[in-house]
Each structure stands twice: as structure tokens, then as C-alpha cells.
Chain A
Amino acid sequence: MRIDTIFIDGFGVWHESRLEPAAGLTVVCGDNEAGKTTLLAFVRAVLFGFETGQYPAVAGGRRGGWLEVTTADERRYRIERYGDRGGQGALSVTGDDGVDRGPQFLSRLLHGVEASVYRNVFAFRLEELSELKGLTEGGVAARIYGAGLGTGAASAITVESALKTEVAGLFKPGGSNPRINQLLRQIEEVEHQLSRVDPPAEYADTRSRLTELEADRERLASEIDSFGSERRRLDRIDAGWQPTQELRAAEEALAEEGDAGAGLEGAIERFTRLDAAVRAARERLDDATARLSSRRKHLAELDPDETTLAHRSQVEGLLEARAAVRGEAGALREAEQQLSSADRQLAETLSQLGAGWTVERVSGLDLSVATRAALGGRLRELIDGATRDLERRELEAATAEAAAAEASIELRSLDERMAGDFTSPLPVALHHVRRGPLVLAAVAGAGLLVAVALALAGATVAAGASAVLGLAAAGLLWWVSRPGATEAGDPAAARRAVIEERRAMISERLAQAARARDSTAAALVAARDASLAANAEWSEWLSAHSYDADLDRETVLSLFEAATAARATIRRREEVAETVGRLAARRDAFLDEAGVVLAALGRPVAADSLAAAVDALGNELREAQSAHESAERIAADVEDLAAEEARAAERNGGDAEALAALLAECGVSSEAELRERVARADRHRSLTESAARARQALATLAGHGDGVDRLVGEIAAVADIGEVRDRLSAVRADAEGATDRRDGVLQEIGALQSQVEGLEASVEASSARQQLADLVSRLEAEAEDWSVRRLAVALMERTRQRYEREHRPGVIRTAEEFLSEWTDGRWVRIIAPLGGAIDGLERADGRQVAIGALSRGTQEQLYLALRFGLIEHFAEEAEPLPIVMDETLVNFDEARAERTARTIERLSKRHQILYFTCRTSTPLQSQTVVRLQPPILAGAVGADRPPTVERVPAATDA
């Protein structure tokens, strides 16, 4: 790409200025402040954007302008950019067609060259030429080294640095933040925790303490046993002290007592018992004698009524009858009242039946169910049927009579009408006569047929007759009224014919009515006969059943009911009368018997006092019986008491003999003597028992066998039981203390055992170990990661060193060629680490000189050579870009400047070069020279007139 036109609308001191550089080398001359640097900055700004605050359009116009460029394929574009502030501003890239292709197209035109690369390599100022960092910026450095790496523009140094950073991020000796350092710290912490819990220090301590306590427990148990033995021994002595003293005293007393004599065992008891028996027998004898006397006296005082007692059974019978009669007296009175009431009721019932009715007549009536049924059934139907038939026949007779009378009246009326209207009723009569025989025959036939049919059907004669008459009348009517029966044509005749026909019909009806009347009259007679027969039969029935003959059936029925009730009353009255009779008879019998008995006892009394006399007799009998029984009982008592007295006297004698025998048996003569001897024997026995009790008590303490003797011997050795008891108290206190201590130990053992079990079940150590294992695993993994990165760093370092040694990057080699040419072979090699800063130069003799030790001119030649190397390298990949240089050769010595100028000229064959200089003479030989006139300054803020561009003949032209 080359720039054909530079047009500045407004940029620094420039305003509406135009410059048209040559395709190859253009030398732009201008004094200081003529705007050369501003022009260079303008080209950079249009291609890559404005720098903030730099180069405002102080001379006028809008800040910005455009470049017209032509690409290698001869396409022309205008790159136009305006903007007041820093940044991209308003950019347009238009071709000949005027279409804006946008910023991306500009990037394509520049072949991806970044701003920094262009500024440092293609368009640099004099002061920038000597800046080392310009060549170490990423983009430029990548251009220098990437060409030789086979991976594009990669920087081994960048990768190496990144890996080193990662390595340091994983581990740093003495560091704390890198991951491995953190893991180490965590591991140490967990290890410390483990040392605490695995094994748990407290477990060992606890087990140790537990062992001690178990030993204590055994020792204390032994102590407690020992105290127990001593306590039991002293307890025995203490408890055995008193029995031993008693044993000793009893044995001493027995020894002193000597032989108490034998055979007196129980003598006192026997004596006492016999003595008491003698006394008791005496008391009983005395008592029996006294009671015998008393009873005998009482017996003598008793005098029972023997007469009454002799009639005892009769009197008792009377008393029983008396009780019964007294009990029935109420019932008798009540029965008598009922009988009176029944009599009244019967009389009333009979009076209701009517005069002539007696008990006997009522009793003779047939009140059977059959009779009652006949009244309600057959007799009722007989009488009621006859009555109803008679009434019906009477009604029929009256009806027939009335019909005949009506027909007769009607006939007369019709005859009167005919007499008034017609002269002769003859034709009708003739007509009537002419047909008469036929009609009669037909009616007779029909009536006969109906009569037969009805007879077969079982109808009554009267009904059959009525039917025959009806049919005859109907046939007659039909005959008379049939069509053609009257003569047509004469109305009067017709009317007469109608009337005659009607008269005939009425006449017929009259005849029928007359026949009916006759018939019903006969039936009425028959009905009346039947009614009379029924009434005769009823009367006969009444007579047969003892009723009055003039009674109707309802009355008979009422009587029937009343007679039934009367008969019940009669029956009840008879029952009550029977009860009264029976009770009265019994009372009378009692009174008769009472009279007989009292008379027999010689106590005759009036009849009305018999009952009271019987009651008094009963009392006397009971008194006599009581006296008699008492006498008998006392007599028996007297006998018993006499016997008892005899027995008491006998036992008294026996006991006295036994008492005497006892005294003789004991060899004493008196009770006092016996008692003295017996008392001595009792003392001996008591002492013996006391000794036995004491020995038993000692046996309880010391066991049977010789244990008692040993205990007694042991106690005998005790001088002071008080000392023993003091010692016992002390031993008890010691034992209690030991027991308390043992309980405490047992409690502590229990607690420690729980603690041990808890520790044994703890997984704290396991968890910590697992955590430690995990941390170590992670450490291993991180260490491996670190190792891979660290080895990668080492690999990169070794490869880079080898590469630097064996493979010079093309850019460096080209630069070395330029430098060697410009310095006439003095400097042959550039010391340039792969991707790193340029270290220095190496002379043809191999001596290396650091950058800092080089002269400014040589440094600038080195950097220019590197830039040219890059430009050449860039041109190999893409279309060359315009190069803008500002006083590049000013610090070169003349010879080197000349040689460099040749290089620039040669370079301008492929690249468009704008070379800015303030000198009128340069070693460069250019066809195009442009002189810039400085602007006229009007004030501090800007130019009154911008610089001017003047194309001048080239030196060669001159």
C-alpha cells in the first residue's frame, strides 16, 4: 500500500494542507517546528486513531483529514478520519465507488498490523528510534521471534513466564499462599490433631487410672473383710458377755444348792389341784342342798285346778270352735247382708219382666242357644218375609189400579177430542177391524213365546204376564204407526188416523191395566194368606215357649235377655243363702257344745253368755295347766338336786382321801411342810433353766459343739467388757470408712469404664487419618502438577537456549546483515534472547558488548537494523506498508549514514518511504523533495497561517 495524497483539514498547526508523496522515497525537508512531526502524527492518527489531547486543530478546520492510498492491485481508497477527542473518531474508508467499507476494511488494508507495531516499526520519530522498549513490546517481539518458531507469532518467553508463574502459584519455598504450601500447613495441623487423638492421651491415662482403682478396689475389699471378721468376733464377745455371766452365776448357785431331792416334781401342783377339788366339791354340795330345799318349798306352794284339767280335751275343743266361730262371725254377717240384697234385686228383676213372672216361671223358660238362634233366624225370616211380600203385593195392586184409571181417563179424553174434530171415526175402526185378527194372532203368538221362555227361565207368572202384555202393546203400536198405515194426501184424514191409532193404543193399555189389576189382586190375596199363616205359626211358637201369645219378636227377644239376667240373679241368691245357712249352722253347733260342756263342769250359764263363759273357761284351763307343769318341773329338779348332792358328798370324800395320800407320798405331814420342800426344788430347776438359756444364747453366737466353750473361754479372758465395746466401735467405724472408700472407688471405676468405652468407639482419629490421607493425596496430585509445570519450564528453557544458539530468527539475521553492512563489518551478531530484550552486540572478533556500553549512534543503527529486518520480514508475509522516518540518520557518522542511506534507497524500491529532515542536505538521493514552510505564529494558541508545502526539485534533478 502506498499513500498518494495526504490532506489535513485541521491537525496541530496544519490546516487544509495537502501533500502528495512519491511512490518510492520522498524527502520532506523543513525547519524545526515546520510541522514534520505533526505530519507524521497525522499519518498515524488517520491510520490508527487519535491520541487524547494531542494536536488540536489550532490553525483551523476540523481535526482530521484523509489519506488517499493505492493498494498493490492498484485499487484506490480514501481513509478519512475526524475527531475532537482521543480514540477512533469518525472513520470512513471509501473506494472509487464512494462506498464506506468501515474500520474492518482498514485493518485488512494494514494486513493486521497493530498500532504499536506501526508506530515502532513503520512510523517512528528520532527519539523513538533509540527506545529499547519499543522493540520488546509484545507485538513487535512476537514479530521478531515468531517467524522462527514454526507456530506463528508465539513467544516462548511468554509461555515460559506463564509456566513459571503457575509453578510459583503452586509452591514457593517459605511461602504461605501457594496451594502446596497451604496443603503442607493443613497436613501439619491434622498431624498435630492426630498426635493428640491417636492414640487419645486420655485413653492411656484413663486406663492407667482404671488399673490403679481396680487395685484399690481389691485392697479395700480385703480390708473390709478383715474389719468384718474382727467386728464379728467382738460382736460375739459383746453379745456373749451377759449370757456368760448368767451361766456362770447359775452354775455357781446350783453347786451351792446341792441335791434338791427327787419325786417332788408336780407335788405342789397335784396338792393344789386336789385341794382345790376338795373345796369345789364342798361348795357344790352346799349349793345343791340349798337349791333342793328351795324347790321343795316352791312345790308345796303350787295347787292346780284338777277338775278343769280333767275336761281338758273338751275345753280345748270348745276353745277351738270358739275361735272358729269368732273368726266366721264377720263372714256370716256379710253373707246375710248379701242375701238380703239378692232378694231385693230378684224382686226387682221379676217386676221388670212383668206381672205373672215368678222365679219358677223364669226358671222354666227355654233360654237355650237354639231358641235364641230360632228367634234371630228362621222365625225372623218367616215373619219378615211374609210381611214384606204382603206390602209389595199391596203396592203392586195399587199401582195397577192407578194405571187402569189413568188409561180410562185418557181414553175418554181422546174420544171427546175425536168427537169434536171428525164426523166419523169409522175408517179407523174399519181399518182397525180389518187388521185386527192378524194383530191379535201375532201378539198372542209373541206372548206365548215369551211366556214359554219365561216359564223355562223360572220367572213368576205375573212377570210373564207383564212381558206378554208389553210385547203385545209394542206390536200393536208398531202396526198402527208403520209407514203407509195412514192414508196419504188428506191431512184431516191423516190426523184422524193418528188419533185413532193413539186411541187404539190407549185402549190396549187400558185392557192391559185391567188385566194387571186382576193379576195383582190375586197375588195380594195369596200374600195375605201367607202372612196369616206366618203369624199363626209365631203364636204357636210363643205358646210352646211359655210366652204370651200377643208378643212380637222384638219383645220376645227383650224378655229373653231379661229372663237370662233374672236367672243369673236367682242363682247368685241361692249361693248366698247356702253360705248363710252353713255359717249359722256352725255357730249354733258351737253354742250347743258349750252349753253341754259348761253344764258338765257344773257351770250352767245363759245361752247369750255362753261365749264369754267359754273364754273364761279357757283362761282357767291355761292357768291350771301352767301350775301343773311347774309342779312337775320342780319335782324333777328336786330329784336332780338330791342326786347331785349325793354325788358332791361322794366326790368330796374322795378328794380328801387323795390329798391325804399325796402328803403321805411326799413324806410330809402338812401342807406347809410340803410347800417348803417344793420351793427348794423349784429354785434348783430355775437355775438349771437359766444355765441352759445362757448356753443356748451362746450357742446362737458361737455355734453348737465346742464353739460355746471356746467363746466362754474367750470371754473369760476379757477383763473389761468396756474395752471390748470401745474396740468394737472403732472397728465398726473403720469398716464403714473402708466401705465408703470402696463405694467411691467403684463409682469412679464405673465412670472411667464408660469413658473408656466412649473412647474405644470414637472415630475421631479415623476421621483425622482419612483427612490426612486425603490431604497427602491432594499434595501428591499438586506436587505432580507442579512437577509437570516445572519440567515444562525446564524444557522450555533448555529448548530456548538451544534454539537461540542454533536457530537465529530471520528478523535478527536480516538485522545483523544490515548492521554489519552499515558498520562495515564491525558488528556481526546481535545478542537477542528468544523473545527477550536485546542484550547487546557481538563484534567480528566475538567480543560482546552490552547495549548500555554502545555509542548512541551504534544503538540507533542496531535498532534501525532490527526495524528494517522486521519490515523485510513483514513484507515477506504481506503487502508493504508506507514507512515514515524522522531524522533517522542524524546521529550516524558520515560513512555509516551514507551506507544506511543506500539501504534506505534500496528499501524504497519495495516500500514507500517518507523521510523527514530539517537539513537541506542528506545522504539520501531522492527524486521527490518537499519543503515545508513553517507556519506564521499569531499567538500562543495557534497559527495564523499553517505551514505550506512546496515541492522542490530533487538534488539529483539539480
Chain B
Amino acid sequence: MPIEPFRFLHTGDLHLDSPFVGLTAEAPPEVARALRDSTLQAWQRIVKLALDEQVDFAVVAGDAFEHANRTLLAQVRFRDGLEALSAAGIPSFVVTGNHDPLSGWEPSVRWPEHSHRFGADAVEARPVIRGGREIARVYGISYPVRAVTENLALRFRRDADAPYAVAVLHANVGGQPGHMPYSPCTLSDLRASGIEYWALGHIHRPGVLSESGPTVVYCGNPQGRDPGETEPRGAYVVEVDSAGAAVPVFHATDAVRWQLLELDIGQVEGEESLVDAVVAAVEGAQHAAARPIVVRVTLVGRGGLHRSMNRGSLRDEVRQLAQERLPTEGRFAWIESLRDATRPLADLGSAAPATFLGELSGEADAGREALGRQVDTDSDEESAAAATWEDALEELYGNSRVRRVLHGRRPDRRRLAELLTDAERLAVDRMVESG
């Protein structure tokens, strides 16, 4: 039976008022303000997108807030956005996620008239009425607490009389790595529900898991907030035609974009040229992004500049000189840091195994090998070898104050192996320098 075509907005993972991760303390005021307000800005853009596109309704798939205890500013801004939609006659449907479960504190801010936040007890269904007729039915359920390990998708069942069913849920479909396995489910679970469109949140990288039968979409977060979130971020405007076919169209809404650039020093001659190369690389990235960017530049490759990199202030100087040539207002390009992963023209250690440097290289290789093995296959001896390196960091990461702040961010073995490589390079450089 044909349905009335309609259009809706799918967003989520707003993480409103969450800080911008990175070294931003030295950023000029305008950049700092833009970074601080980036999630709020992105939310405003989403609201504008919904108004411009004249959607029939909007869904927010969890994690509207960064903290379970919503910040006042975030709550007010979120309310303001929903109110703007409500004033335009656009109803909105919100579920909470692991970051903003219903158990958290929230300031007593008045909820807009045409906005509905789903409860956590059961899946609710809310009709979307247009011109006196129901055009779609939105289903949803919120997280009562942070860690929801139940497969909530199994609770969804489409009503037979619903013209079109949209489910809003914060969930990890297919156990996607890098994200907590909250409300774990599979595509089969979703398919079994009979729902036509699954508006999902939780995974920050936007993407369409299934184009039809049902359409399953992660909207992603509308604003990348750390160096791991570099791609365009935004929201989907979904067109549903009379046959019930949904076409989600992605719209970038990020106010600032993270960019990770690698710059090979192989072709760079001298420090001044390095500044030029950094500026050119950043400008190219900004042109591609067409918006303000925050850039982390990592120098890689082998070259004569490698030795200069060990001079403590050089990278800061290069970064500062390059930054002076880049805009810091309007569509700015802020170099968050300039990192060194360069190598000397030739590795000294590997060339002479009988020398001290050769021994040092061998020791580092052994360490990396021990750290690279899977934990469950470690022999006692190998475990001890790996533990040697892990213990080396105990002084810092075992410290209670540090542990509290950097909780969960102690380098794992893989990272430890990378750090060991950096340590090896540092030691060799120092030995060569002092020689």
C-alpha cells in the first residue's frame, strides 16, 4: 500500500558541550572559542539543516550529551534547538545513550512542546501526524543507565497498522571495535523487527550498514572532537518515497575538522623549507576541508632534518613560524602540534650488531617482539620480557594521581611497542650526537 512520501532528519551522538581534545591552550581566543563551542555549533547547523530541508520530523539517536550529568549549557542549547524545531512544527524524538542515560542528573529545563524523549522501561511508539494523517511511526527506547548490555533491538516490533516504522536506538551493531559493546545486536536482529528504518547512534563514523530491508544507518557524530575523528561529520536527511524506499543523504555539519597530516622530510632541505612544506600541506588540507581545521602534523621519512629534530625547540619553532602564515580567524587553520617520527638517513644500530648501538637495536627488537605477542600465548619468559617494559612505565602510570586522570589511557602493549621504537630512536640519536 503506497504511503505518503516524507522526509526526516537523523542525528545523534551530539556530545554537546564536550571539550575539543588536543593541545589548544596556545590557540588564540577565536580559535579556542570555536573549538570550545564546536559541538554546540554543529548542533545549531543540524537544526538549521532540518529547518532548511523542511523535514517532517527529527530523531536523535542517543548521546546528545557528553556527560551523564548533563551540563546546564548543553541542556539549554539542546532544548533551544528542539524548541526551534518545535516552533516550526517539526516534532522531534529523542533517545538517550550510554553517555547521557536517564539515571544522570539533569537541570530542570523545560522540554519543548513537540519533542518527545523516550523512556527506558519499554519501547514506545509515537505517531507522526501530517495534515491530520499519520505518515510514520517512531519507536524508541532510552538507556536507563550507562552500561546497557541487553540487546534492546530485540524489544522492537513493528505495529501492523504503522504506515512506516522508524526505530531510534543507541546500539553497537555487529560488535564494532573501538566502541563499547552496549546494546549489542546484529543486523539479523534488526531485520527481524519489521522496522523499515533503523536510526542508530553510538558509532561515531557515519555510515549505512544496510540500504534496504531494513535501512540501517549510523548517523555518526556531527562534530569530530579528537584526532581520531578526522573525516567529515554530520547528519542524514532521509527521503522516504511512496513505495517506502528510504534514501539517506549525508550533510556535513562539523564546525571544525581534525586533520592528521604526514609530511615526508625526504625531499625537504633545511628548516626554512620545512616551514614552507608544513604551510603548503596545511593549506592543501584546509582547501579540501573547506572549513576551519585543526591539524596535527607528523614528520616522517628519512632525511638530514632528522638530526635537527632532536633539538628541543625546533619543532615548536617550525610550528610557530608556519602558524604565523596561516589564518587564525574565520576559516582558520590551527596547527595543534608538530610531531616527529623521522628516521636518520641510515640506521646505525642495525648496521653493526657487535657495537653498543647494534646491541641496543637488538634489545629493542626483542622488546617489540615480546610486546607484540598475544597475551594468551605468552610463555612465562616472554611475559617477563614484556613486563620489563611495562614495568618501566609503572612509576608514572602506577601513580595514583596520574592513574586517576589518565584512567584507561595507559599505553597498551601495541602502543608500548611503538613507544619503544621512539625510545630506541631517541637513544641512538643521543649516542650519535654525543659521539
Q: A interface vs B, CB < 8 Å?
A: 146, 148-156, 158-159, 162-163, 171, 173, 180, 184, 187-188, 198-200, 203-204, 207, 759-763, 765-767, 769-781, 783-784, 786-796, 798-800, 802-803, 806-807, 834
Type the 1/0 row for B356-376, where 1 means its CB is closer than 8 Å to any CB of A.
Answer: 111110011001000000000
Nearest CB in chain A: distance from B429 CB, A: 9
Q: For the complex of A and B, list the 8 residue pairs with the smallest distance between their C-beta atoms, beginning with the closest.
A: A150-B355, A773-B19, A791-B423, A154-B435, A151-B435, A792-B423, A149-B356, A152-B435
Residue pair B19, A795 in contact (C-beta under 8 Å): no
Question: Which residues does chain B contribute within 8 Å of A796, judged by CB atoms?
Answer: 360, 427
Residues of A within 8 A of B392 (CB): 790-791, 793-794
Chain B interface residue number, banded: 35 or more
Residues of A contacting B17 in the complex (Cβ-Cβ under 8 angstroms): 765-766, 769
Query: Residue B36 at the A interface, CB < 8 A?
Result: yes
Task: Known A-B contacts: A787-B419, A791-B423. Give 6 more (CB < 8 A).
Answer: A171-B396, A760-B76, A766-B19, A770-B19, A774-B25, A795-B363
B358 lies within 8 A of A150 (CB): yes
Report the minimum CB–CB distance from A522 to chain B (whole Å).
129
Residues of B within 8 A of A790 (CB): 392-393, 395-396, 423
CB–CB A774/B108 < 8 A: no
Contact assessment for A766 and B36 in the assembled complex, using a CB-CB cutoff below 8 Å: yes
Interchain CA distance A152-B107 in the complex, whole Å: 68
Chain A residues positioned under 8 Å from B358 (CB to CB): 150
Are the C-beta atoms of B21 and A799 separated by less than 8 Å? no
Q: Does B352 contact A (CB under 8 A)?
A: yes
Separation of A783 and B408 alpha carbons in the complex (Å)? 13
**A792 to B434, Cβ gap below 8 A?**
no
28 contacts between A and B (CB under 8 A): A148-B355, A154-B356, A156-B356, A159-B431, A198-B72, A199-B107, A207-B107, A765-B71, A765-B72, A766-B19, A769-B18, A769-B19, A770-B19, A772-B19, A773-B21, A774-B23, A776-B406, A779-B402, A786-B396, A787-B423, A791-B420, A792-B426, A793-B392, A795-B360, A800-B356, A806-B359, A807-B356, A834-B356
Of the candidates B76, B364, B406, the one whose C-beta lies within 8 Å of that of A795 is B364
Q: Which residues of A contact B416 (CB under 8 A)?
A: 791
A102 to chain B, nearest CB (A): 28
Q: Are A203 and B72 in contact (CB under 8 A)?
A: yes
For residue B410, which residue of chain A has the nearest CB? A783
Give bound CA distance, A207 to B435, whole Å: 69
Interface check B411, CB cutoff 8 A: yes
Looking at the assembled complex, report how far the CB atom of B351 sits from the nearest CB atom of chain A, in whole angstroms: 9
1/0 per residue, CB under 8 A from A, across B372-402: the answer is 0000000000000000110011011101011
CA distance A792 to B359 in the complex (A): 13
Question: Are B359 and A799 within 8 A (Cβ)?
Answer: yes
Tally inter-chain residue pairs, CB-CB below 8 A: 196
Whether B356 pairs with A794 at a CB distance below 8 angstroms is no
Q: Are B355 and A149 in contact (CB under 8 A)?
A: yes
The interface residues of chain B, by DSSP majority, are classed as: helix
Q: Is the CB of B73 within 8 A of A765?
A: yes
Closest CB-CB distance, A214 to chain B, in whole Å? 12
Taking CB atoms, residues of chain A closer than 8 Å to B402 are 171, 180, 184, 779, 783
| CB nearest neighbor in A for B351 | A150
Given A777-B21, A781-B23, do A149 and B363 touch, yes or no (CB 8 Å)?
no
Q: How far is the CA of A766 from the CA of B70 in the complex (A)?
A: 12
**A151, A203, A760, A762: the one within 8 Å of B357 (CB):** A151
The 0/1 profile, CB within 8 Å of A marked 1, for residues 415-435 of chain B is 010011011101100111011
Q: Would you call A149 and B73 a contact (CB within 8 A)? A: no
Q: Point out residues on B near A: beta carbons under 8 Å.
A: 17-25, 32, 35-37, 69, 71-73, 76, 105, 107-109, 337, 348, 352, 354-360, 363-364, 367, 388-389, 392-393, 395-397, 399, 401-402, 405-406, 409, 411, 416, 419-420, 422-424, 426-427, 430-432, 434-435
Q: How far is the CA of A154 from the CA of B356 in the complex (A)?
A: 10
Instruction: Collect the chain A residues with CB atoms within 8 Å of residue B18's CB.
Output: 769
Determine which residue in A767, A783, A802 has the highest number of CB atoms from chain B within 10 A of its CB, and name it: A783
Interface of chain A: mostly helix, strand, loop or mixed: helix
Task: Give Cα A798–Cα B356 distance, bound, in whole angstroms.
Answer: 11
On chain A, the residues within 8 Å of B71 by CB distance are: 198-199, 765-766, 769
Q: Knowing A148-B356, A149-B357, A799-B360 are in contact, say whether A783-B396 is a contact too (CB < 8 A).
A: yes
Complex-state Cα separation, A565 to B53, whole angstroms:
115
State the Cβ distance, B2 to closest chain A Cβ, in Å: 46
Shortest beta-carbon distance, B263 to chain A, in Å? 19
Asked whether, in the complex, the Cβ of A151 is within 8 Å of the Cβ of B419, the reply is: no
Q: Are B389 and A791 in contact (CB under 8 A)?
A: yes
Once the chains bind, are B419 and A788 in contact (CB under 8 Å)?
yes
In angstroms, how far is the closest chain A Cβ from the Cβ of B21?
Answer: 6
Complex CA distance for A60 and B78, rounded to whole angstroms: 98
A795–B420 contact, CB under 8 A? yes
- Of A791, A803, A807, A834, most buried by chain B (CB within 10 Å of CB) is A791
How far is A173 from B352 in the complex, measured between Cα atoms in Å?
38
Whether A774 touches B424, Cβ cut-off 8 Å, given contacts A156-B431, A184-B402, A807-B359, is: no
Distance A920 CA – B50 CA, assembled complex (angstroms):
110
Distance in angstroms between the alpha carbons of A772 and B36 in the assembled complex: 11
Contacts of A770 in B (CB 8 A): 19-20, 24, 32, 35-36
- Which residues on B sit within 8 Å (CB–CB) of A783? 396-397, 402, 406
Flag if B72 contacts A762 (CB, 8 Å).
Answer: yes
Of all chain B residues, which has the CB nearest A790?
A: B392
Q: In the assembled complex, which residues on chain B have CB atoms less than 8 Å from the CB atom of A150?
A: 348, 352, 354-358
- Residues of chain B lying within 8 A (CB to CB) of residue A187: 405
Bound Cα distance A155, B409 (Å): 35
Instruction: Name the one of B35, B36, B389, B431 contacting A149, with C-beta atoms under 8 angstroms.
Output: B431
**Cβ–Cβ contact A154 & B431, under 8 A:** yes
The CA of A151 and the CA of B361, in the complex, are separated in Å by: 14
- Using Cβ atoms and an 8 Å threshold, which residues of chain A touch B401? 184, 188
Contact A200 B426 (CB under 8 A): no
> Assuming the A-B contacts A151-B356, A778-B23, are A199 and B395 also in contact, with contact meaning beta carbons closer than 8 angstroms in the complex?
no
Q: How far is the CB of B107 from chain A (nearest CB, A)?
A: 6
Most-contacted residue by chain B among A774, A783, A798 (CB, 10 A): A774
Shortest A149–chain B CB gap in Å is: 4
Q: Is A791 touching B419 in the complex (CB atoms < 8 A)?
A: yes
Smallest beta-carbon distance A537→chain B, Å: 122
The answer on a CB contact under 8 Å between B357 and A795 is: no
Give A543 to B42 CA distance when docked, in angstroms: 135
Residues of A within 8 Å of B356, CB to CB, are 148-151, 154, 156, 799-800, 803, 807, 834
Give the chain B neighbours of A773 by CB distance below 8 A. 19-22, 24
User: Contact at A763–B360, with CB atoms within 8 Å?
Assistant: no
Q: In the complex, how many angstroms separate the beta carbon of B37 from the nearest chain A beta carbon? A: 7
Give the docked Cα–Cα distance between A380 and B159 (Å). 144
Max count, chain A CB within 10 A of own CB: residue among B356, B405, B423: B356
List, in ascending order, chain B residues with CB within 8 A of A784's CB.
411, 419
A799 neighbours in B (Cβ, 8 Å): 356, 359-360, 363
CB-based nearest A residue for B22 = A777
Please, which residues of chain B bring their CB within 8 A of the CB of A791?
389, 392-393, 416, 419-420, 422-423
Whether the pair B395, A153 counts as a contact (CB closer than 8 A) is no
In the bound assembly, the distance between CA atoms of A425 and B32 in angstroms comes to: 153
Bound complex: CA A802 to CA B366 (Å): 13
Contact A162/B430 with A150-B352, A766-B17 known, Cβ cut-off 8 Å = yes
**For residue A198, which residues in chain B have a CB less than 8 angstroms away from its CB?**
71-72
In the complex, the chain B residue whose C-beta lies closest to that of A772 is: B19
Bound-state CA distance A200–B105 (Å) is: 13
Minimal Cβ-Cβ distance residue in B for A173: B399
Please tell me which one of the listed residues B19, B355, B434 contacts residue A159 in the complex, with CB atoms under 8 A apart. Answer: B434
Q: In the complex, what residues of B have CB within 8 A of residue A171's CB?
A: 395-396, 399, 402
Q: Select A778's contact among B25, B397, B423, B435, beta carbons within 8 Å.
A: B25
CB distance from B245 to the nearest CB of A (A): 42
Within the complex, what minimum Cβ distance (angstroms) separates B356 from chain A?
4
Shortest beta-carbon distance, A510 to chain B, in Å?
132
With the chains together, A778 CA to B20 CA distance in Å?
13
**Which of the listed residues B18, B107, B434 has the most CB atoms from chain A within 10 Å of its own CB?**
B434
